[in-house]
Amino acid sequence: MREFFIEDLVPSLLGDESVDVTARARGFVSPDVVSGVKEIRQAFDDGGRVKHVCLERALKPRVAASIGAALEGAHFRRHHHAPYRIEIAPLDELEESALSRFCRWMVSDDAARFHGWLAGWPPEGRRLVSKQVQVARARKGDEFPLHVDTDEEGVACVYNFTRDFGPEDGGKLYFPYRGRTELELAPQFNTVILFRPRKAPHGVSRVTAAKGKTRFTVTTFFCVD
């Protein structure tokens, strides 16, 4: 996916409501992303069996760095569902930080409207609501086995804050289909994947990175109200 650079949106093209949503999102989201909405929507729509788009430099660099630092110091516990070998940080236990502010935005109607507008999904102006925000980390030996999150229509967002992972370190988000992997994404700092989660099997491969390397993500599901 190519990168985008325009500072502002054009009200005549987007309408007052969309501009208002973007104005509030602008505190977090890089203008590179906001300016490329037409290309992003097209890439999402052309994304294959599971509609998706992957974006680099998703958040403003200073915001992403601050969230990454807060993740390093957050308190995590093992996922309550034993087969999910990851750790999560409960939202109500987060200390005040760039991470907690980002998560508060991600649970808001504004974030739901913004990400639905960005992906252009679902069609026909159906309203999205934030159903779940999960702050997660995975370290050596951890993995998130193949699963389906929802049968509901909507948009899923996985913001990645993983540093210094290489091809040999694992922790890849993958989408299988008919015995093969049709999409595989290595963890990379300050990226986001938007995808259509309805009946979409996916998982995270085993982390094989050396001790001290950690896969950090903030994942949100926006579903049709």
Q: How far apart are CA 52 and CA 86, in angstroms?
A: 24
Report yes or no on 5 lying in a domain: no
Most trustworthy range by pLDDT among 10-19, 92-101, 122-131: 92-101
Residue 121 has pLDDT above 90, yes or no: yes
- Domain extent, residue 140, equals 11-224
* pLDDT score of 18: 64
Report yes or no on 6 lying in a domain: no
Report yes or no on 95 lying in a domain: yes
pTM greater than 0.85: yes
Residue 9 has pLDDT above 80, yes or no: no
Residue 126 has pLDDT above 90, yes or no: no
Residue 95 has pLDDT above 90, yes or no: yes
Report yes or no on 3 lying in a domain: no
Structurally, how many domains does the chain consist of?
A: 1
Give the domain CATH number at 134: 2.60.120.620
* pLDDT score of 12: 36
* pLDDT score of 13: 41
Residue 165 has pLDDT above 50, yes or no: yes
